[in-house]
Structure 1
Amino acid sequence: MATLILVRHGRSTANTAGVLAGWTPGVALDERGAAQAAALPGRLVGVPIAAAVTSPLQRCRETLQPLLDARPGLPVHTDERIGECRYGDWSGRKLAELNDEPLMEVVQQHPSAAAFPGGESVRAMQARAVDAVREWNARVEAEHGEDAVYLMCSHGDIIKSLVADALGMHLDLFQRIHVDPCSVTVIRYTRLRPFLVRLGDTGDFAALIPRERTDGGTEGGAAEVGGGAGAP
């Protein structure tokens, strides 16, 4: 079956503002995010991408555009099922204040039971994304052959949930996975099982350097809902 390249969108204005964007309109790449997107075609040189699929949100479309410019004629499709988690009433709020919400502990420790007020559950988010990948795998293989490679540009929590599915991990463990902005994750699907080939690859090890949190403490064990802004 097909090999899927998952690209998280580049760093956005919401990432740097510490805001949970969700489906809030008008969230664009910031200066660094635009540079990350511009570097993407060079990182994928030589990879024969048969098609690209993108979340409809602006930050994903902007991330994918330099690759489309570098590869005229590359088929591109939009699929809402790989759009960001629908955080509902949490959308547009500061992550720092959301950390005080009782639901945040559930999101961190028992996400399969978490449902965002006015939005969707984490289980529903994963189910729609997995369904999308299964359908695109079949479509790409039918059109381009079983060795075809295609790309999806999506969001942190979506990619984490797809990796958990590929690894056979319970959704309650998906917060242990981390993908930085504009990172590349690769899953090779076969008839019997998927193989995780790359995870959150940016080629940049700055994220490994210890750093202090803005609240003065050291980084703890909580996952960054929405994916975070990456290394400073």
Structure 2
Amino acid sequence: MPVIVLLRHGVSSANTAGILAGRAPGVSLTDQGVSALRNTLRMLPQQRFSRLLHSPLLRCEQTALIAASTIAADSVAAVDDLIELDYGEWTGRSLKELGGEELWKTVLERASQAHFPGGESIAEAADRAVSRVRTVVDELRTEERNEEEQRNRSGDDHEGKASRWAMLVSHGDIIKAIIADALGMPLDDFQRISVAPGSFTVIDFSGPQPVLTAMSVTAAGLSEGSTPGGGGLR
């Protein structure tokens, strides 16, 4: 009964400045971002996690450390597959300015065809992130089976099945791509999804198909941004 919680990093200095941070170093959480994140983490439906994986970028590392102080995680590790898109020459530019680029329309309407100059494509980023989620789900299922077999051998009559949860801390577009895949949506439609900074999303992988049970949950609600669900490349 694996369940994945996707946690977007809290509000960062780039979020408040309207900058596309990408993989630029030194982008950290704001004080407001830290406070809002702590409040949101109290709303999690689960407090015990088999693992806590995060993007190696500073803002996700900070978010993961805050999460680790709130939940119980058997292991914590940085994972390159969860890193932000490599926006190449777009890195560090203002979103307002980027809105005038010819590529912007492709990013919004045909994401699967978008490749950032000097960086990677949205499809490449989606593939690596989705592949990591599938690997984690397979690992959790194996752990559940092993635990169940051990219970059977020991004669433990504990009712119910073992359930494993994992938390993945990443970035807006990466999380949106994972959600789109879970819902069976074409990548070209992933801009219809929005996840707020510091929000969590829950996907249940216990059945034959993934089930999205919660998305972009924050304690602060719309106060974290001017649009429902937060932001992204819009």
Identify the TM-score tier after normalising by the shorter chain.
Answer: 0.7 to 0.9
How much is the aligned-residue C-alpha RMSD, in angstroms? 2.2
Query: Letter of the aligned partner of 2:97 in structure 1?
Result: E
Once residues 49 and 199 of structure 2 are traced to their aligned partners in structure 1, the CA distance between those partners, rounded to angstroms, is: 17
Once residues 24 and 78 of structure 1 are traced to their aligned partners in structure 2, the CA distance between those partners, rounded to angstroms, is: 17
What does the per-residue CA deviation read over 1:119-172, in whole Å, with 9 as the maximum and x for residues that have no partner? 111111110000000111112232355621110011100010011001100011
Greater C-alpha Rg:
2
Residues 1-232 of structure 1: pairs in structure 2 closer than 5 A: 1-44=1-44, 46-71=46-71, 74-144=74-144, 147-190=163-206, 192-206=208-222, 224-225=232-233
Q: Which runs of 5+ in 1 are unaligned?
A: 212-218
Q: Which runs of 5+ in 2 are unaligned?
A: 146-161
Q: Which moved more, 1:53-62 or 1:29-38?
A: 29-38
- Is residue 50–residue 144 contact of structure 1 (8 Å, CA) maintained in 2? no
Once residues 46 and 177 of structure 1 are traced to their aligned partners in structure 2, the CA distance between those partners, rounded to angstroms, is: 24
Once residues 171 and 27 of structure 2 are traced to their aligned partners in structure 1, the CA distance between those partners, rounded to angstroms, is: 13
List structure 1 segments (4+ residues) > 4 angstroms apart after TM superposition: none
* Structure 1 residue aligned with 2:152: none
Number of equivalent positions: 215
Once residues 194 and 44 of structure 1 are traced to their aligned partners in structure 2, the CA distance between those partners, rounded to angstroms, is: 19
- Is residue 60–residue 169 contact of structure 2 (8 Å, CA) maintained in 1? yes
Change (3 A) 1:11 1:54: same
Aligned-pair identity in percent equals: 38
